[in-house]
Structure 1
């Protein structure tokens, strides 16, 4: 019941606004909620938590903000252009509010804490501002606005994980779902605002994660993506579900526990951090066929000096060591990355180091950006953004060109082979085609075939490819699957 405007992106890439719609709740109060999300998968998962909290209050969701009583934008604060998009959207909602003065407009998420005074007081764009750890307070805050007051709660928590809230699934396909396994971040990358907007890292109780995954599988879902700012640092200590003794669970062990729910439940995760991804995690992926052979491992830069300025806490050599381990333990594993062009003081030689890192790894795909200073970050306070914009753009163009060539090369390796995919639905370009992703996260498009429907695993023979998509047909005889 959702009109998806975008394809899936990885954790660090921004997404445009996406209206989120769920089936009407059993208990209604005649009021309607409209949520629009920007940014990473974590934001979209948070919107599902918000929808669940307000569903319990009787709110029905809508895909048309003109008929809503409450309008929320769940924001991203990673990139500067995200803020401008949010402001433009809030201006549109403001026009609707002038028509309907009772409309409640609020900003949620990462942008809320940093820009609370501007949104509420200076620009008067919203009625309420709510940070990512304060969603339980939404019913009270909405009431406060209805009583004629501005409302704000941007307090960060060291405990909140929303583990007891069953998210309302907003993507509507009933096949794939996100499961947040942790919140916050303890990594203080100098370019990033996440530790300041989402707070300190805390891991969610594994019992609740497994219960959520089991419930999704029982309801017919076939793929879950475990989400965290840095999933490899997941660590939980507490009582065993069946015994009184305390247990410790790390990410590798959590992966295995989720994989054991069913071999028909496919598992993905995002995002990994090069300093924390262990061989134990890699061996867990290699051991279970239903853990996808795909790792998003952001490098950001190929230069050790720039990495130190970014406070990434690893070197070029360490990153290469982790890549070599992936190639050794999980042959054929797809690897993607995030890359920043033109970080503070980056030289031409260091830019070339990034290009040679791309050659060494051969990323299946990458999300690339030119550096933009974010207020409040260590880089904004301590480093000079001294690389000229035209140089940033040129370096970014060189990175993009190299990645396009490498992406095409990687996909060409599947041509003539058969891949197993999970059918996600109809292709966006033609209702005569179906689409789904293979184990390595590549999108596969093939002609719709009688009896084949979303939620099924099928084998597809790859006939050709573009730089972004594999194109094939249902395999009649199944050779070795790749």
Structure 2
């Protein structure tokens, strides 16, 4: 590669899931390793990388709008280039490939989900040729964990254990852009975890489109409970994972919530719908009864476990009765957090060809009803923390006030509290401190740091 990146600047804009955030850290690690420096804005950057998501239509619209608007942003003073180089990776890059440069002629590089390591070479080729460089592979030989990384936080790390997905939910584009499910060897996962612990990492989040099916391709059966055991043995203080598919959540994994020191009492378990008819049309392969049975087992092990979920409103053919099945399930479970979405058609998925004549205003009214319920239940769940002493991992300060700490409880609740007298925010970031909860709102808790 004849092009030098020494003294150049870059910024990365990341859309979508935690896996994209992890991939962005790897892209940053590669560019920094070549001598490029990270900056916070497009205006300051010689190279701009978009790590994209195509799960919902809004992400497409956002990407095309942002890339198109960059035509009018002048190159920074001191740039070694006559133009700003723009690269698009992630799921939209994988899905659209050459189509992107046809629709956005000032785009320079497109790469997919399977070839992060190609980005420096593709950028160099685009710079040397003053043309476009596009490379989208159908599969990758290695996990991106083999690449250098610039982690966003020294005290937290993403740790992918699988890539791809075999589930083919009828509304989801992910298996088509991330490929079939592939697991990392357990020994590699455990070794990476040990390195993080030795480096002072406090919290690891295991990643996969469906972590619960980890190991089926390697060992003939899921071994996710063995992964949890290995991470706990590695000495990590806090362990989380995302995302779980209800059809693959085993009793062994549920039991770990009661036996493992490090496993936090919080679980994201996407239900998507409370209607058996809609679940079947979604190809989710579980029933409402099965899902509620999992909730019962989880609460038998950890009665106050914090549960979160995803719900799609307006799936093709959803009736008022179907919606009310979902509404009643949310009432019954009492989630701490629910990510609610109005169905977004994704071309290439089976659901995209399903007919639906439900008026948009009806879907919106159902969505609004559900959001009201979600907020009420989240507020009720947080009231249980009033007066409790909670260990909080300090992540930084409030965006509104640098004198106020911001962190996460074991249940993944956001917690705010004033910087204690005689201490500074900088010395507390990345540490776990006890806080007494004095106020509980819908989406956050407020408290006071107390003596150990």
Provide the TM-score with structure 1 as the length reference: 0.86
Instruction: Choose which of 343, 349, 368 in structure 2 pairs with 1:371.
Output: 343
- Pairing of 1:311-326 with structure 2 (within 5 A): 311-326=283-298
Say if 2:385 is the partner of 1:414.
yes
Rounded Cα–Cα distance in structure 2 between residues aligned with 1:213 and 1:283: 22
Q: Is 1:256 aligned to residue 229 of structure 2?
A: yes
Q: How far apart are residue 116 of structure 1 and its match?
A: 2.7
Cα distance 1:84–1:333, how it changes in 2: closer, same or farther (>3 A)? same
Using the TM superposition, name which of 400-409 and 141-150 deviates more: 141-150
Write the distance in 2 (CA, Å) between the matches of 1:403 and 1:247: 39
The answer on 1:393 being equivalent to 2:364 is: yes
- Compute the displacement of 1:461 (Å): 1.4
Q: Give 2:195's aligned residue.
A: 215
The more displaced of 248-257 and 192-201 is 248-257
- How much does 1:101 deviate? 4.4
> Corresponding residue for 1:152?
134
State the partner residue of 2:183.
203
Give the aligned partner of residue 181 of structure 1: 161
* Contact 1:164/1:208, CA 8 A, preserved across alignment: no
Q: Which moved more, 1:290-299 or 1:450-459?
A: 450-459
Structure 1 counterpart of 2:428: 453
Alignment of 1:292-307 (within 5 A): 292-307=264-279
Say if 2:142 is the partner of 1:167: no
Asked if the contact 2:97–2:135 (Cα under 8 Å) also holds between the matched residues in 1, the reply is no
> What does residue 34 of structure 2 align with?
57
The alpha-carbon deviation at position 97 of structure 1 amounts to: 6.8
Q: What's the counterpart of residue 108 of structure 2?
A: 127
Structure 1, unpaired ranges of 5+ = 1-26, 239-245
SS across alignment from 1:225: strand
Distance 2:210 2:389 in 1: 33
Would you say the 8 A contact 1:206–1:236 is kept in 2?
no
Counterpart of 2:320 in structure 1 is 348
Aligned to 1:79: 56
TM-score by length of 2: 0.92
Residue 337 (structure 1) aligns with: 309
Are 1:206 and 1:249, in contact at CA under 8 Å, matched by a contact in 2?
no
Q: Distance in 1 between matches of 2:24 and 2:100?
A: 20
User: Deviations for 1:246-290, whole angstroms, at most 9, x for unmatched residues?
Assistant: 99871111111111122x521111111100011111112211121
The 3 A distance-change label for structure 1 pair 143 and 72 is same
Asked if structure 1 preserves the Cα contact closer than 8 Å seen for 2:117 and 2:147, the reply is no
Considering fraction of residues, name the structure with more helix: 2
Partners of 1:345 and 1:384 within 8 A in 2: yes
Greater CA drift, 364-373 or 147-156: 147-156
Distance in 2 between residues matched to 1:51 and 1:158, nearest whole Å: 19
Distance 1:398 1:124 in 2: 43
Task: Work out the CA distance in 1 between the residues paired with 2:373 and 2:123.
Answer: 49
Deviations 1:210-230 (A, max 9, x none): 232222222222111111111
Separation of aligned partners in 2, 1:418 and 1:167: 35
Identify the residue that residue 10 of structure 1 maps to in structure 2. none
Partner in structure 2 of residue 474 of structure 1:
449
Q: Name 2:411's counterpart in structure 1.
A: 440
- Offset from partner CA, 1:94-126 (integer Å, 9 cap, x none): 223789644221111101132334321134241
Conservation of the 8 A alpha-carbon contact between 2:203 and 2:239? yes
Corresponding residue of 1:137: 118
Alignment of 1:92-131 (within 5 A): 92-96=69-73, 101-131=82-112
CA change 1:475–1:58 in 2 (3 A) is closer
State whether residues 445 and 471 of structure 1, in contact with CA within 8 Å, keep that contact through their aligned partners in structure 2: yes
| Number of the residue aligned with 2:258 | 286
- In the alignment, the residues of structure 2 paired with residue 77 and residue 125 of structure 1 have an alpha-carbon distance, to the nearest angstrom, of 21
Are positions 1:270 and 2:245 aligned together? no
The 1:441/1:98 distance shift into structure 2, 3 A limit, reads closer
**2:333 corresponding residue in structure 1:** 361
Q: Deviations over 1:72-95 (max 9, x none)?
A: 111110111111111111022222
**Poorly superposed stretches of 4+, deviation over 4 Å:** 97-101, 246-249
SS state at 1:275 partner: helix
Pairing partner for 1:232 from 190, 208, 212: 212
Partner of residue 355 from structure 2, selected from 384, 394, 402: 384
Contact 2:114 2:140 in 1 (8 A): no
